[in-house]
Amino acid sequence: MKNTLIILKPDAVERGLIGEVLTRFERRGLKIIAGEVRTISEDVAKQHYAEHAQRPFFGELVEFITRSPSFVAVLEGPADTWRIVRSMMGTTNPAESTPGTIRGDYGLELAENLIHGSDGPEAAAREITLFFPQIS
């Protein structure tokens, strides 16, 4: 899968980090083929995070991701772009993320961990269709 979806979450946009984070991907050689500042609706948030619907933090997660604009984008790379992006993001909990990763350089809080990236080829295809139906 050459394309993958990223979301720079409301915390990243509020902190003015869109440019810094996108620069990392561009320096690495990934291409931004679609991107937009967009406030994610509750309906889309629930579809996007459906796998977590039964988790205790689901309500908090939907509230967070919809609270202010995100930057949603599609990145293109040579192959398995989702895997490259995930490795650049760092682990889910920024407090434990390796320095040099996005979460490891900019975050400390589990919920407000700056960025979403598709976690496999099926997720990438599904998420691109959800956010950018015109390019999938």
Residues forming contacts to Mg ion in the complex (CB under 5 A) are 119
Q: Is 31 helix (H, G, I), strand (E, B) or coil?
A: strand
Among 37, 57, 95, 108, contact with ligand IDP (rule: CB under 6 A): 57
* 113 binds ligand IDP, rule: CB under 6 A: yes
Q: Which of 99, 110, 124 is nearest to 4 (CA)?
A: 124
Strand partners, 6: 73, 117
From 20-28, 66-74, 107-115, 122-130, give the range in contact with ligand IDP by CB under 6 A: 107-115
Separation between Cα atoms, residue 90 and residue 105, nearest integer Å: 9
8 Å CB contact between 30 and 76: yes
From 20-28, 66-74, 106-114, 122-130, give the range in contact with ligand IDP by CB under 6 A: 106-114
* 98 binds ligand IDP, rule: CB under 6 A: no
Q: How far is the CB of 28 from ligand IDP (least distance, A)?
A: 19
Q: Which of 108, 88, 75, 102 is nearest to 20 (CA)?
A: 102
Among 87, 92, 98, 129, contact with ligand IDP (rule: CB under 6 A): 92
For the chain, the farthest-separated pair of C-alpha atoms sits apart, in whole angstroms, at 38
Q: Give the interface with ligand IDP as residue ranges (CB under 6 A).
A: 57, 60-61, 92, 110-111, 113, 116, 119
Catalytic residue annotation: 116
